[in-house]
Amino acid sequence: MRTKITTAVAAVSALALALTGCAGGGGTDGADGGEVTLQMVESLTNPTRTELLKTMLADFEEANPGIKVQLVSPPTEQADQKIQQMLQSGSGVDVLEVRDLTVGPFSNNGWLYDMAGDLESWDGYENLTDQAKSFTIDSEGKGYFVPYGFYGLSLFYRTDLVKEAGFDGAPKTWDELVEQATAIQDPAQNRYGYAFRGGANSIGQVMSILEAYNADNLDAENAYKVTSGDSIFSTPESQTAIDKYIELFTTGSPESSVAWGYAEMVQAFTNGSTAFLLQDPEVIGVVNDSSLTEDQWSVAPNLVGPTGKAAWPMATAGWGVAEASEHKEEAVKLVEWLSGDASTTFAKENSLVPILAEAADDEFFKTGPWAAYVEMTSAPDTYLSVVEPRGSSWWTEWSQRSESDLQQVLLGKMSTADLLSGWDQYWTEKWEA
C-alpha cells in the first residue's frame, strides 16, 4: 500500500511540475553534437502556405547543415495571441512572423531582437526595394523584421460590366469610380457597383480616398498627417473626399455593405454581384479560382484624386527574431535566407508585392492582373509610397473606433463633418500624449 501511495504522490508531483511549466527553451542543442533546432512560428497561417513554408525550410536545412527548423503553425485567429504568450514567457520561439500591426507592441515590450547590426553585413540588403528597405531598417534605425512581401490596394473591376455600361475602360479617379459604379448599379437585377467595406477594417479604404485627395500635401513618413503637421482629417480636401466616399456608398453600393467585411466584399465580386472591388493582391488567386472567366475581370491601379495622384500605403509582415532566442546567429541566418530569392517564390505563391527589386523583371509580375502593380511601382510620382502609423499602440482601438464611426455616418446617425473632427481630435490627442 505504501508503494502505491508513493507512486501516486510521485505521479501527482510530476503532473504538477508539468502543469506549472517546467518547459525548456525554444531552440535546443541536439544530442548529435552541435545541431541547433530553431522554433519558427507563423501568424497568417493557412494550409497551403504552411506547406510552402515547410518546403522552403527543407531547402534551408539542406543549405545549412547543423540547423533544423521546427515550424509552429497556430490557427490564424489565435496566432498573434499565441505568439504573444510565447514571447511573454521568454521561450518556445526563435524566429517569428512579425506584422506591421504587431511590431509596435512586440518591440515596445522588448520581445524582438534588433537585427539592424546583423543586417549591415548582409549582402541581400541591397537587393531589396526601397519600400522593403524602409521597413527592414525603420526610421529609428531598428531592424525588428524583414518584410516578405507587401499588401497594397488596387482596383479589381469587371471588364464586361464596364463595357456594357458604355465606358471605355476602368475608372482612373475616384470621381470616375463613383460615376461608373452608379451607372452599373441595378438592385432589381441584383447587380451593384462597388463592393463597399463598411465592416471590419474599413479604415484602409477610407484612408485611400483621403490620401488621394491630399496627395499634394501628404507627409510621406506619416500619411495620417499633412505637411503642415496637422492631421489629414483637418483639411478641406478630406471633407470633399469623405463626402465623395459616402456618395459612392449611397449611389453605387449595396445597402447592406455597411456591415461588409473582407469575406462579403470578395464574395460579392467573385459571384458577379458587384463590378468593383478595392483590395490587396491576395485576391487575385481567389478571383482566379472563381466562376469569373479571365476576360471578365482585370486589375487597375489604385484610384487617383483630383490632382492625379494617389498614395500607395502598404501593409506588410515579415520575419523577425525573438530577443529571448538562444540561437540568434542561426535565427538571423534563417531570416536572411527567407528574405533572399526564396521571398520571390513566397510572394508569387501568396500573391504579394515582392520585396526584391529584380522581381519587377520577372514575367510573372509583368503580365495579367499583376501588370497594375508594376505600373504603380514604376510611377512613384503618381503613386506615392507612404507609411501609415500602423505600428501605433492604439492602432486596433483606432481601427475599431473608425469602423463604428463610419457605420454611424452610413446609417445617417453622424455627419461627415463630425466624423472628421472627431478623428482629427483623436489623432491630435494621441500624438500630443
**Total residues in contact with other proteins, by rule CB under 8 A:** 49
Q: How far is the CB of 140 from other proteins (least distance, A)?
A: 17
Q: How far is the CB of 387 from other proteins (least distance, A)?
A: 19
Q: How far is the CB of 321 from other proteins (least distance, A)?
A: 19
The yes or no reply on residue 425 touching other proteins (CB under 8 A) is no
Q: Among 92, 104, 152, 204, which residue interacts with other proteins (rule: CB under 8 A)?
A: 104
x/- mask, other proteins, residues 247-266, rule CB under 8 A, reads -------xxxxxx-x--x--
Q: How far is the CB of 259 from other proteins (least distance, A)?
A: 4
C-alpha cell at 325: 532566442
Residue 49 and residue 348: Cα distance in Å, rounded?
A: 11
Residue 384 and residue 301: Cα distance in Å, rounded?
A: 12
The yes or no reply on residue 433 touching other proteins (CB under 8 A) is no
Stretch that binds other proteins, among 24-32, 100-108, 324-332, 360-368 (CB under 8 A): 100-108
Q: How far is the CB of 153 from other proteins (least distance, A)?
A: 22
Q: How far is the CB of 352 from other proteins (least distance, A)?
A: 25
Q: Among 55, 85, 393, 415, which residue interacts with other proteins (rule: CB under 8 A)?
A: 393
Q: Nearer to other proteins by C-beta: 15 or 417?
A: 15
The yes or no reply on residue 19 touching other proteins (CB under 8 A) is yes
Which residues of the shown chain bind other proteins in the complex (CB under 8 A)? 1, 4-5, 8-9, 11-12, 15-16, 19-20, 84, 88, 104-105, 108-110, 187, 190, 192, 198-200, 254-259, 261, 264, 267-268, 271, 273, 393-394, 396-397, 400, 403-405, 407-408, 410-411, 413
